[in-house]
Structure 1
Amino acid sequence: MTGKAQKEIAISACKNQKQYLLVSRSMGQESLKDAMAEASGNSELHLIFQGIPDGVTVQEGVLDIQRMAREFDPVPSVGLNPLMFRRQNVKDVPHSILFSPGHWQGNKCIQSVIASMRGLTNYDYLLKQVENGRSGDLGKLGPTVAISEENFMDAIEEKIKTTDWDSMKKRAAETVWEDYPMESLPAARTDRIFQIDPTVVAIQDIVTPDGQVVARKGDRINQLEVMPFNQLLVILNPLREKEIKAAKQIIAQGKADGLKVSVLATKIDRDHGWESYNKIVKTMGQHVFLLTQEVRQRFQIRSTLSVVTADEGKFLIREVAL
């Protein structure tokens, strides 16, 4: 869902969602079922919790709420809304609130409380009192209990405060290579050169938005004629010293010929991670990329050391045995 769509939903909810019954698992199963039944019979009533029980994941907590709701037909509107509890300073439940239609200001929903009450799950009672002209805090009209769940926003903020972000970043940097995909290839056994013709045939007319014809159906298009490949790709296993030495000579010649040189490695020492990678970069004297599956397949790279150039409308792939 796009950010614009999410905002439209929030604005609509701000304007139309006015009835809330705030609850907690501390109320017990029977009282919670009474609240669920109340919301099931009133499509405009939203039953909300401020958090999930200790010892369960967010997913498990939300699924448990949904499981309780599915016992009723129609299924009531139930969910988490920790901000509502915080903004209304709700400490005990059940707590019913009726809001005025809201309006969106900046990135915030502005609503005012018409009436509220504590101690009853019978939301209709609140609505009838408003119909009779009452408003504001109607007080405690029945037994209430303290909320057992930690406010989800408080839990997130505490987690942020107590997390050792420096250690996490350091750990992430240290372990990034452990699962990094690498296109490991065998060493070339014989010297070989082969060509790849990048010519394609247009299967239909290719026309720009302003009506200019780029190609007609059946035309043969060579991408190297459209965009010259003034590059030298060197694909090597930097853990093989012979390949390092040969690659440096090839790179030097390529730079002397005015080609843009890219070095693609098929492997690094995972056990030494960044230390291994930085050593390779220092040895090659330039940035080193890791060979991707897409590049390997595009140029049919099957071994190292391999060198890719282009000439006379074709890619030239040279395999160097060492």
Structure 2
Amino acid sequence: MRCFSSALVATVLLAGGAAAQDQETIHALKEGAKAAQEQAADILGEEMMRLIQQEPGTLEGAPRDFGPRAAEAAPQREGNETARERAWSQLEQAIAEQSAREWEAPPHQEPPEDVLYVYISLSMPASTIKSLFLEALDIQDRVETVFVLRGWDRPGPNTLVARLNALFPEAEQLGELPNVQINPVLFRNQAVELVPTFSRKDSDGHWQEVVGVTTLEDAARRIGRGIDLGGVIGPSYSIEEPDILELIEKQAAKIDWEAEVERIRQGILTRRTTGRALPHALHDDSYLVDLTIVNNQDLAGPQGDIFASAGETVNPLDYISLSRKYVFIDANEERHVNQALAWKQQYQRITIISTLPVESLERRQEVFGTLGQQVFESNDLLLRRFQIREVPAIAYQEGRMLRVDVVGRGAVTNQQVSR
């Protein structure tokens, strides 16, 4: 059965069409802001995320069993790995190109301009709306038409959808439906006060409009020839549906946004961590970690070349180099913060990761001020693959292995590690 639906009508529905009432819309906006902040708080650092993306087997495959301390002598690489290295290079290039496209792309597609926008309301006679809908389908090859509604009455958009279906029962037999959108922003930007209003860009790129009942082709012709622009050329009607933007603004004015932002911040600071509490080291320690994994499936490059078969061992450090050193601390402990600062003063590129969230906003600001950089929250999978058992610790590449140095209680060290 072909008919209007909430998804079709609300193509450009504010807040994604999730809210049927004013308060629900505000709630959806706040939840979206909270989700965005939580996502930002979970970032582990540019290099670590690049490692996880480029080496899916590194954190997901079965770790090769070398015990808690890997042998000091690293295993030798296999002799002939040209095909593998080429495949890894292709994979890295594909990821880099995709990342570049995402960064360069606009945040959303611009609305089409070479169309005839028809602003309507259900206050118009049903016969007029139906006639415009049928004409739009008939002339769609010559005039692309978008119908725009300003909003909906309570209890929600489903009521609007039901009314549209009632006045256009032909939708059941049609293979297509007219393009109908809910977009209060366009109503406001075009300062639409009466319907129907027909709006289109002229040959000079300026928006022009005519108001009043007429056909779509006549409205397009008038705008194209500059006839009766801005004038009322036929019967016109007031807008029945409420301005959703105005309703949101009224609700937003009642909210204490400073308190709301603080609540969200505190929720992020005190939410359940993605990492875990690790023992605070009593004694210095140093050990090697082998990141080699046994593939649980075939791994192929962008061109389809399989560079690692299921059951084969792969060490990601054969194909990439870690240019950063990774510092793991409990940022709630002053000694750990001081140790991180000592390492930062010694090495140019470090990523600082806290195994537990900072307990308060004030403490977080204090830690950031002391270290002069962001402190990321850890991920339990990362702790397990890097075999971080105590903190504070620093992890860095040493040949084909990962070296982890741990500093015991009572010491803040500037020990030299390989660059």
Q: TM-score, normalised by structure 1?
A: 0.56
Q: Distance in 2 between matches of 1:97 and 1:54?
A: 23
Q: Residues 48 and 78 of structure 1 are in contact (CA less than 8 Å); yes or no, is this contact kept in structure 2?
A: yes
* Letter matched to residue 187 of structure 1: P
In the comparison of the two structures, how many residue pairs are matched?
Answer: 273
- Which of 275, 279, 289 is equivalent to 1:196? 289
* Letter matched to residue 276 of structure 2: S
Q: Residues 36 and 47 of structure 1 are in contact (CA less than 8 Å); yes or no, is this contact kept in structure 2?
A: no
Would the alpha carbon gap of residues 33 and 278 (structure 1) be closer, same or farther in structure 2, given more than 3 Å must change? Answer: same
Where in structure 1 are there 5+ consecutive unaligned residues?
105-109, 204-219
Q: Residues 150 and 187 of structure 2 are in contact (CA less than 8 Å); yes or no, is this contact kept in structure 1?
A: no
Deviations along 1:168-227, one digit per CA (max 9) or x if unpaired, are 433333333244743114437997643135799xx9xxxxxxxxxxxxxxxx97689x77
- Which of 383, 394, 409 is equivalent to 1:308? 394
The answer to which structure, 1 or 2, has the higher relative contact order (CA under 8 A, 6+ apart) is: 2
Q: Distance in 2 between matches of 1:285 and 1:134?
A: 64
Which structure 2 residues correspond to residues 121-160 of structure 1 after superposition, within 5 A?
Answer: 123=215, 126=218, 135-136=227-228, 137=231, 139-141=233-235, 144-152=236-244, 154=246
Q: Residues 237 and 267 of structure 1 are in contact (CA less than 8 Å); yes or no, is this contact kept in structure 2?
A: yes
Give the aligned partner of residue 290 of structure 1: 376
Which protein is richer in strand relative to its size?
A: 1
Which structure 2 residues correspond to residues 47-66 of structure 1 after superposition, within 5 A?
Answer: 47-55=146-154
Would the alpha carbon gap of residues 193 and 31 (structure 1) be closer, same or farther in structure 2, given more than 3 Å must change? Answer: same
Q: Residues 193 and 317 of structure 1 are in contact (CA less than 8 Å); yes or no, is this contact kept in structure 2?
A: yes
Which structure 2 residues correspond to residues 43-122 of structure 1 after superposition, within 5 A?
Answer: 43=140, 44=143, 46-55=145-154, 72=171, 73=174, 74-80=176-182, 82=184, 85-86=187-188, 90-93=192-195, 95=196, 97=198, 99=200, 101-104=202-205, 110-113=206-209, 116-118=211-213
Give the aligned partner of residue 267 of structure 1: 356
Q: Distance in 2 between matches of 1:84 and 1:134?
A: 22
SS of 1:140 mapped into structure 2: coil
SS of 1:76 mapped into structure 2: coil
Shift of 1:264: 3.2
* Letter matched to residue 117 of structure 1: G
Give the aligned partner of residue 210 of structure 1: none
Q: Residues 357 and 377 of structure 2 are in contact (CA less than 8 Å); yes or no, is this contact kept in structure 1?
A: no
Shift of 1:266: 1.0
Q: Residues 118 and 197 of structure 2 are in contact (CA less than 8 Å); yes or no, is this contact kept in structure 1?
A: yes
* Letter matched to residue 166 of structure 1: E
Deviations along 1:1-49, one digit per CA (max 9) or x if unpaired, are 9339945x63xx33xx24x443112336665444433333332263523
CA RMSD for the aligned pairs? 5.4
Would the alpha carbon gap of residues 188 and 4 (structure 1) be closer, same or farther in structure 2, given more than 3 Å must change? Answer: closer
Q: Residues 153 and 160 of structure 2 are in contact (CA less than 8 Å); yes or no, is this contact kept in structure 1?
A: no
Give the aligned partner of residue 135 of structure 2: 38
Q: Residues 339 and 392 of structure 2 are in contact (CA less than 8 Å); yes or no, is this contact kept in structure 1?
A: no
Would the alpha carbon gap of residues 89 and 291 (structure 1) be closer, same or farther in structure 2, given more than 3 Å must change? Answer: closer
Q: Which deviates the most, 41-50 or 62-71?
A: 62-71
SS of 1:25 mapped into structure 2: coil
Give the aligned partner of residue 235 of structure 1: 328
Q: Residues 51 and 152 of structure 1 are in contact (CA less than 8 Å); yes or no, is this contact kept in structure 2?
A: yes
